[in-house]
């Protein structure tokens, strides 16, 4: 099921609800002009599954996966010009294992591994 953000609400624990039940499915987020700026998957009101954010011009801003609200696997962020800005890898417990960053011209500025 896919719903619009404006049709949902968050409870005190920040779980997303739709029609008074914790929501399972995708929530579409839009800017003031109605352009899609986000698509987030939820299970029982908690972010779980793919997440994608876009700039208002439609270019990709950020994408990755969550599992019960925790970032897992590969996450990527882009500069507004479309150049990859960051690539991070998270383990199943949500600990960052590696992060690479680039400037807006595509030059690598950081390549760091994190010990667990």
Q: Which helix (H) or strand (E) holds 37?
A: strand 36-43
**pTM across the whole model:** 0.89
Query: How do the domains of the chain map onto residue ranges?
Result: 2-113
**Sheet with 16-18, side-by-side order of all strands:** 9-10, 16-18, 21-22
Q: Give CA–CA dist 49/71, Å, rounded.
A: 9
Q: 2-113: which CATH number, 2.20.110, 1.20.1740, 1.10.150, 3.40.720?
A: 2.20.110
Instruction: Give tens-digit pLDDT for 67-114.
Output: 999 999 999 999 999 999 999 999 999 999 999 999 999 999 999 999
Matching residue, tokens 């960053």: 101
At 116, is the pLDDT very low, low, confident or very high (cuts 50, 70, 90)? low
């Amino acid at each position: 099921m896919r719903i619009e953000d404006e049709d949902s609400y968050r409870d005190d624990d920040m779980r997303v609800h739709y029609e008074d039940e914790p929501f399972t499915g995708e929530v579409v987020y839009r800017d003031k002009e109605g352009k899609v700026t986000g698509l987030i998957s939820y299970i029982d009101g908690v972010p779980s599954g793919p997440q994608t954010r876009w700039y208002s011009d439609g270019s990709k801003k950020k994408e990755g996966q969550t599992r019960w609200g925790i970032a897992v696997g590969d996450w990527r962020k882009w500069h507004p010009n479309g150049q990859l800005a960051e690539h991070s890898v998270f383990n199943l417990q949500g600990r960052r294992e590696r992060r690479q960053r680039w400037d807006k011209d595509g030059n690598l500025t950081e390549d760091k591994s994190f010990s667990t």
